Amino acid sequence: METSFVVAQSLAVVGWFFLIYSYYKEDIQKLLRMQIIACSFETASYIALGAFGGFFACLLDLVKVILYYKTDKDKLIFLSTLPFYIIFAIISVQDEGWIALLPAIGGVIDGYVLTRNKTTATIGCIISSTLWIIYDLVVLAYVAAAADTILVFSNFFVLFLGYSHILHINRLHVIKCRYLTHSISANIISLDRSNYDTQYLWSIEQQRNIFKLNPDSILLIRDKKHTIGYINYITITKEAYDRIKRAHIFYHNFEPEDITVLRRRHKNYLIIESISINKSYESDKIIDLISKHFRSMLRLKHNQGYNVHGIISVGISDFEKEFLKAKGFLHIKDYRDGESLYEFDDIAVAKYIKD
């Protein structure tokens, strides 16, 4: 058995390990970092085999993943890499024959479907992986062929069940919003318009100003890559917290002096400003998913020395009120326009984090 063959299979095994591990990362940034490493090992395995069609396609996939990691411009990335797939496919065909077209076609399909809806993306991944399986078997990339076979079965699970028991891939997941990009702001505005009356809406400028003052403040709920909801929690001063509790009417515009940052060994206060979900996704499952990640955030902050002494929230939509009541928030009062004020005091917060 040739040394290059053994090296190639070994590199593919390591790459497959990182790929599997990436699917256990609910944070999209960590997931993409793991996939960059996985793609690097897979690219190296094709070099060892002398399979240039696979090498070029994997190299372009690696570039795409890095660009996805740095930006959120899926369509632009797809269009900018498309000519290179065509060029490298032509070069590879001269060396390997027409079989070299398969990974290039698979890469183009992958890039295209990632800009579409979840069903199209899943079907596209099945087709792309099937093309890769055929190519891998021809060039003796047996580990890669086995990995792609598992991906095909996994995506069938996602397609028909919405969940993959093989790769631990769940359609719905929650990530922290690290950068408030234009597209994310537009998604938030769209969600708010479908859930709130005009008087409750923030402009993109207001969102950005609040986010600059309190950047650790938004959790995004995703269905695959699409934002279908969010929870916005803001750290406010004790004075603002007490003022909101005393007020007889609800106001939702915050002045810069009302907003602060979490501080260690201090009593910190939060307001859950919005819990906005696409109405077709509203369910007990979503309530539990949001609560799980919000609780995990509070627990992490607590372990780091940031003590949250109170949380208030004004339920405007029916979903917000249902969420707050389901998670044990104490109903304080109702305002004249139907909004309701809820609170977790220090004892309730401690119990919530512990549960």
* 7 and 60 both lie in a single domain: yes
Asked if 139 and 193 sit in the same domain, the reply is no
Q: Are 293 and 176 in contact (CB under 8 A)?
A: no
pLDDT tens for the chain, residues 1 to 355: 578 888 888 888 888 888 777 766 655 566 667 777 888 888 888 888 888 888 888 888 778 777 766 665 667 777 888 888 888 888 888 878 888 888 888 888 877 776 666 667 778 778 888 888 898 888 888 888 888 787 777 777 766 666 555 554 456 788 888 788 888 888 899 999 998 988 888 888 888 888 888 888 899 998 866 788 999 999 999 999 999 988 888 776 778 889 998 898 889 999 999 999 988 888 888 898 899 989 988 988 888 889 999 999 999 999 999 999 999 999 999 988 889 999 999 999 999 988 7
pLDDT at 159: 64
Residues 63 and 198 in one domain: no
**What angle do the packed helices 142-161 and 3-22 form, to 10 degrees?**
20
Same domain for 317 and 192: yes
Q: Are residues 164 and 265 in the same domain?
A: no
- Looking at the structure, do residues 276 and 350 belong to the same domain, yes or no? yes
Q: Output phi, psi for 50, to 5 deg.
A: 70, 25
Residues 322 and 199 in one domain: yes
Distance of CA 291 to the CA centre of its chain: 16
Shared domain for 100 and 184, answered yes or no, is no
Q: Residue 86: give the domain boundaries.
A: 3-170
- Domain boundary (155, 170, 185) is at 170
pLDDT, residue 103, reads 85
Neighbour-count burial for 266-296, b at 16+ CB within 10 Å, e otherwise: eebbbbbbbbbbbeeebeeebbebbbebbee
Cα 119 to chain centroid, rounded: 17
pLDDT of residue 117: 60
Q: Could you tell me which residues come within 8 angstroms of residue 16 by beta carbon, excluding any fewer than 6 positions away?
A: 38, 143, 144, 147
Domain boundary among 125, 142, 170: 170
Q: Are residues 122 and 218 in the same domain?
A: no
Q: Are residues 177 and 106 in the same domain?
A: no
User: Are 166 and 200 within one domain?
Assistant: no
Residue 159 CB burial class (10 angstroms; 0-12, 13-18, ≥19): middle
What is the rounded distance in angstroms from the CA atom of residue 247 to the CA atom of residue 237?
Answer: 15
Neighbouring C-beta atoms of residue 197, cutoff 10 Å:
11
CATH number of the domain bearing residue 326: 3.40.630.30
**Of 170, 205, 226, which residue is a domain's last?**
170
Structural domain count, the chain: 2
The pLDDT value given to residue 168? 47
Please tell me whether residues 113 and 246 are part of one structural domain: no
* Half-sphere CA count of 78, side-chain side, radius 13 A: 16
- Give the helix ranges, DSSP H, for 50-73: 52-70
